A = this chain, B = another copy of it.
């Protein structure tokens, strides 16, 4: 039995969809969630800048005594996962590999679509992860710069959101993809829209669900799970305005979040120094 919490971070509140799946899969674990609200979104930023932010946050989480760090942000994983793993002694799990693997297992026609941020698509890491597992798979990648702002604005039923999803989905439908990776932690929040645009014939694979499975398997294999009987607790930290995080977080998680602790950027910088 290992009572230490799992650390999760994201550029903002999007990673809460990953936390949600973790709570479903591992209700007995404690979690510390850190959202980098002050510097959100990461998607349009250059990779070296994202990598620096991710290293600061992961180093800070390490000082809090977590047992594993989960990069619940596709842009941060694409830009920084190898760096974090080289620098930290703790195990670091990211999104990306888990859902790439799920997509390869799922597809029947071996045509896999990817919807993600500009940074994630530019990294080509999804295509690489898919081709490591199936060298003959066809991957169609589409960057979706409009989606995160629309989702954060709460536009889940708006016409402009539907138009944007239709626009981004078109090349994937034209290519006949039977499996589509929702490669950004914000996207599960508008899953009904994707489901209607793609229809029954397409399987949607989400970063959030697959990564929660990966974390659960990792804790079990390492033998560092918490007591199965207990009820886990969540602690929330943000570099941005606490109240903004709380409101967005309660909408994303559908759970009362309570107190949100503010972390200064200088504290993050100090942890990585």
* Residues of A in contact with B (beta carbons under 8 Å apart): 81-83, 85-88, 91-92, 97, 101-102, 105-108, 110, 129, 131-137, 214, 217-218, 221-224
CB distance from A134 to the nearest CB of B (A): 5
Q: Which residue of B lies closest to A125 (CB)?
A: B132
- Are B91 and A135 in contact, with the CB atoms below 8 A? no
CB distance from A112 to the nearest CB of B (A): 12
Complex: how many Å from CA A167 to CA B270? 47
12 A-B pairs (CB sep. < 8 Å): A82-B136, A86-B136, A87-B136, A91-B110, A91-B134, A97-B132, A101-B101, A102-B221, A105-B218, A106-B222, A108-B224, A129-B132
- In the assembly, how many copies of this chain are there? 2
Chain B residue nearest in CB terms to A109: B89
Give the residue name and chain of the B residue nearest to A178 (CB). Answer: B222
A243 to chain B, nearest CB (A): 37
Report Cα–Cα, A206/B137, bound state, in Å.
27
CB distance from A220 to the nearest CB of B (A): 8
Determine how close the nearest CB of chain B comes to the CB of A168; give it in whole angstroms: 24
Inter-chain contacts of A107 with B (CB < 8 A) = 222
- Minimum distance in angstroms from A188 CB to a CB of chain B: 18
CA distance A102 to B214 in the complex (A): 10
Q: How far is the CA of A258 from the CA of B179 in the complex (A)?
A: 41
The answer for the CA separation of A55 and B87 in the assembled complex, in Å, is 41
